[in-house]
Amino acid sequence: MAKRLKIISTHVLVGISVFYFIVHPITMVVYWFEFSGTPFTWGLFQQVLKERLLNSFSFDMVGMMSVFTVLGAVLGVLSGFFWISFNRKNNLLEKHDHLLKRDVSQIIADGETERVEFKSSLRYDYLNKNTNRNLEVVIAKTIAGFMNSKGGKLLIGLDDEGGLLGLQNDFATLKHKNRDGFEREVFRIIKQYLGREACYKNRVFFYQLESKDICLVDVEISSIPIYVDSTKGTTFYVRTGNATYPLSVKETVEYLKIQKQQ
């Protein structure tokens, strides 16, 4: 409480000072030029400002000074509350980010599961040391599998054991070599292979662990079947255990029938 009062008091004093010593005299100068009809020159402005500055604090201007003092105080109070609110939200965001990092670290430590999958990259081939767009289909299959099952989290920038690889190699293959470019590429892949409607069921987050960026794609369950359309045809995928599997047409029909009954 004492800290809040100190912040508000400081803002009030600053507000009063600004309005009393700056806004008030300048307003008087503007009015002088407005009503005198005298052409504006910089030299005359300085002269009038000096005169008005001295006159602004005379006994005759007590009413005007009071108005500007109150305005400065009110704006000071408002800015003080805004500053407190801003700092509170900023602290909550920092705390939330810390908790999220801890949660992500725990997810990684728990390893791959039915609802968690690790991928080393989006399209950078660590084996051949080049860009491999075939890896995009692997990403699409994993997301489709989650959407057709119970949802899940796809973490990109990790090896199969959860070791941190980062996203720098992927960044280097993109037009926009940063998180924004990476996120655009993720949604391009989803749109291309799964369809535009699938984009609305996915959210992309980035975290930095041990100075390395990783990406988490939070995948929601889809209320409609999601198919992967690639050069090899249209395939339905599901998540079983810690792996993603394709289903035949017959298996897909049976699976969807069972899902509908649940």
pLDDT average, residue stretch 31-45: 72
How far apart CA 110 and CA 145 sit, in angstroms, is: 20
> Does the pLDDT at position 99 exceed 50?
no
pTM of the entire structure?
A: 0.64
> Does the pLDDT at position 168 exceed 50?
yes
Which range, of 6-20, 85-99, 221-235, averages the lowest pLDDT? 85-99
Task: Locate the domains of the chain by residue range.
Answer: 2-100, 111-261
> Does the pLDDT at position 6 exceed 50?
yes
In this prediction, residue 67 has a pLDDT band, given cuts at 50, 70 and 90, of confident
pLDDT average, residue stretch 70-84: 81
How far apart CA 167 and CA 121 sit, in angstroms, is: 7
Q: Which of 192, 207, 226 is nearest to 123 (CA)?
A: 192
Q: How far apart are the first and last CA of the chain?
A: 54
In this prediction, residue 103 has a pLDDT band, given cuts at 50, 70 and 90, of confident
> Does the pLDDT at position 51 exceed 80?
no
> Does the pLDDT at position 177 exceed 80?
yes
| pLDDT tens per residue across span 110-138 | 999 999 999 999 999 999 999 999 999 99
Find out whether 120 and 165 touch, Cβ atoms under 8 Å.
yes
Q: How far is CA 29 from CA 59, 62, 93, 208, in A?
A: 18, 17, 45, 54
**145: which 2 tokens?**
């599998």
Q: How far is CA 207 from CA 63, 158, 191, in A?
A: 57, 12, 24
% of the chain beyond a pLDDT of 90 = 53
In CATH, which superfamily holds the domain spanning 111-261?
Answer: Schlafen, AAA domain (3.30.950.30)
Q: Which of 169, 161, 151 is nearest to 216 (CA)?
A: 151
Which range, of 13-22, 92-101, 142-151, 197-206, averages the lowest pLDDT? 92-101
